[in-house]
A and B are shown apart, each in its own frame.
Chain A
């Protein structure tokens, strides 16, 4: 009886905690007052950081995105500065889904930003990072869209595009930190700030074009600084070398010089290290394979013509070899193993890799690369010729 009474008393004391009354919790926040930030832009500024934030369609803002910016010595201080100015709204950064880094800031070094993300209690390590190629994060965050949509919507669309296609991939903060620690370099997904395809929705041409961001390949980080870039065309090569491909279009010319659009359906690569008898790594033999289909032939009725298909396959292989080769060449020129070739050599032969002298990163620029590409046309999609 005594125990029951004690339990009931304790339960009664605990019941108010279930009511959600604000006074009971130190960190309670009313959802109606939250300004949910979904995109964060980071740039270097004079003596610190230029931070820009954007919300998606807010609860209170009835679909109009909010754009904020501030400069301060650190990211946290800039957030506090914005928080103090956003008087009626409570800044909520736990749902930041995209972080943009300006090209200038990336060239100066991203270590401070990565360190902030790793320590932040709000941001997730899985948040995708984007490099704004040729521009600043601030102009993208503040300038994309109009009254009805903003950077969050544009990046959501870019995300879906990158996820579905084979000429790009999202790079999370965790991946970049891990790759920098492991390989000394990393890829960062790049976007470019450019006019949108649609006309300005209001104000006509005088108001200027509506701006947007679109996927633009990758930036290459070495150490923590941006040291190079891979455009979207070459980015197919990255997907093949990382065995992470998706559908994307390749433009080649057939034997009559007509443009043909092929869709790369799947592909990948295998790597074989070439060791000398003394155990030194002399080179890498990389075999790339790809399966494509014809999306647009320029002329119909070629399906079933095996000579024509063989020729098209050879052109597909040559095109892929060019793109993969340019990515490998960039890796060698920069001395940056952003493709984790060292990891693949280690997985192929851990014992010899451990004995490598000097390290793989130092060997990379002088390694002999032997590249072979094997392509296959799955079907030509020709309505008269049938499938190949």
Chain B
């Protein structure tokens, strides 16, 4: 890896904060509300201990890497000579499939919120081409774009949440009692899913971060802040619509934005806000393609070249166009299949490979 493909740990955290917005607003809070009801706004803090443990695990795993190595290289080493091809191919396939799903899901967000009479391929192809083009470049550009757009998206989110929280009704959020504990823990599952996707992607991109001894405290603070942000978002939605209505709305956050009137004069800004969500989509799709390319490059160096990158991009676009032709199959993908695959990859495959690698002294 040359010096031009390097970036700092803080830049990577900023990037992760931006891409977190893609799965966060897809699954949260409606997914958590269905499980935890009125208490769903507390599900991010409920998930925090597990998230911290998982983050420490990833830190431990990444501490085994050499200079210029990321999760892809560690997976290859942990799987050994026999399993490396299968593991890397499986990882690449998962990353490409996830990218295709994100294209399809992003298109659906545009259609349901702003462009009701459009068809998904328009958005899938345009976003896919942009993502594929960006993935042909370096990870550093992507991470720096994330760093640049974070203040913009953070500012929009803060303004929306501030305005929404002013109108929240506490009776829609309280009481939360001991009997909400079990639902609350199950409501933490969507939160784990959201963070798992982002943390694993961050681990793939960690190959650009110099290997210097660092404390995981910065990551802990990042997780705490992100959980707080998700909690506030859920509180704004639940406090405005109530648990029953929030559970049936597809993307309650954008309904919330549609309802808001800023400074008694500015309203109907949902199209503008939705359009800003292009950035996290674009960055996540590009980062997934880049990581998949890296996995393929480790299988066979030629497969990591630009031509293979273009092929991967086209494959993802085609898959995105064919994926989920109707709303029912899309919600099945979004709420069942993708979370199941994502959690299996993050919480079963990675720890399993780590343990196996440690036992066989490959890591």
Contact = CB atoms under 8 A, between A and B. Distances in A.
Interface of A: 26-27, 94-95, 118, 121, 124-126, 174, 177-179, 181-182, 340, 343-344, 346-347, 350-351, 354
B115 A27 contact: yes
Interface in B167-194: 171-172, 174-175, 177-179
Contacts of B258: 124-125
A127 to B, nearest CB: 9
A346 B175 contact: yes
Given A178-B244, A354-B177, 11 more contacts: A26-B115, A27-B118, A125-B258, A174-B240, A174-B242, A177-B244, A181-B242, A181-B245, A343-B171, A350-B175, A351-B177
Nearest to B180: A350
Nearest to B111: A121
Interface string B78-96: 0000000000000000000
B175 A174 contact: no
Contacts of A26: 115, 117-118
Is the contact region of chain A dominated by helix, strand, or loop, or is it mixed?
Answer: helix
A95 B268 contact: yes
Given A95-B268, A347-B174, A347-B175, A182 B255 contact: no
A143 B249 CA distance: 36
A351 B180 CA distance: 11
A-B residue pairs, 10 tightest by C-beta:
A178-B242, A181-B244, A350-B177, A126-B259, A350-B175, A347-B175, A121-B116, A178-B245, A124-B259, A177-B245
Contacts of A343: 171
Contacts of A182: 242-244
B345 interface: no
A27 B171 contact: no
Nearest to A355: B179
Interface string B226-249: 000000000000001111110011
Nearest to A340: B171
A278 B245 CA distance: 35
Residue of B171, B178, B248, B249 most packed against chain A (CB within 10 A) = B171
Contacts of A124: 258-259
A225 to B, nearest CB: 19
Is the contact region of chain B dominated by helix, strand, or loop, or is it mixed?
Answer: helix
Contacts of B177: 350-351, 354
A354 B38 CA distance: 14
A126 B257 CA distance: 11
Nearest to B118: A26
A354 B249 CA distance: 26
Interface residues of B, number: 25
A126 B171 CA distance: 18
A350 B174 CA distance: 10
A178 B174 contact: no
B167 to A, nearest CB: 9
B117 to A, nearest CB: 6
Nearest to B246: A178
Nearest to B256: A125
B178 A351 contact: yes
Contacts of A179: 242
A346 B173 CA distance: 12
Contacts of A177: 242, 244-245
B145 to A, nearest CB: 14
B241 A125 contact: yes
Interface string B29-69: 00000000000000000000000000000000000000000
A132 B49 CA distance: 53
A354 B179 contact: yes
A351 B112 CA distance: 40
Contacts of B178: 351
A125 B244 CA distance: 14
Contact of B268 (A27, A94, A181, A350): A94
Residue of A178, A182, A340, A351 most packed against chain B (CB within 10 A) = A178
Contacts of A346: 175
Given A124-B258, A178-B172, A343-B171, A351 B179 contact: yes
Nearest to A3: B137
A244 to B, nearest CB: 10
Given A351-B179, A354-B177, A174 B245 contact: yes
17 contacts: A26-B115, A26-B117, A94-B268, A118-B248, A121-B112, A125-B241, A125-B259, A174-B242, A174-B259, A177-B245, A179-B242, A181-B242, A181-B244, A340-B171, A347-B175, A350-B177, A354-B179
Nearest to B270: A124
A95 B261 CA distance: 12
A27 B241 contact: no
A350 B179 contact: yes
A354 B181 CA distance: 14
A80 to B, nearest CB: 13
Contacts of A126: 259
Contacts of B113: 121
B137 to A, nearest CB: 9
A61 B179 CA distance: 59
Contacts of A340: 171
B327 to A, nearest CB: 12
Contacts of B242: 174, 177-179, 181-182
Contacts of B116: 27, 121
Contacts of B255: 125
B175 A27 contact: no
A26 B115 CA distance: 9
Contacts of B244: 177-178, 181-182
Nearest to A351: B177
B127 to A, nearest CB: 15
A183 B145 CA distance: 48
A344 B169 CA distance: 13
A344 B177 CA distance: 14
A110 B121 CA distance: 37
Contacts of A174: 240-242, 245, 259
Nearest to A97: B267
Contacts of A178: 172, 241-242, 244-245
Contact of A27 (B117, B172, B240): B117
A343 B172 CA distance: 9
A179 B169 CA distance: 12
A40 to B, nearest CB: 16
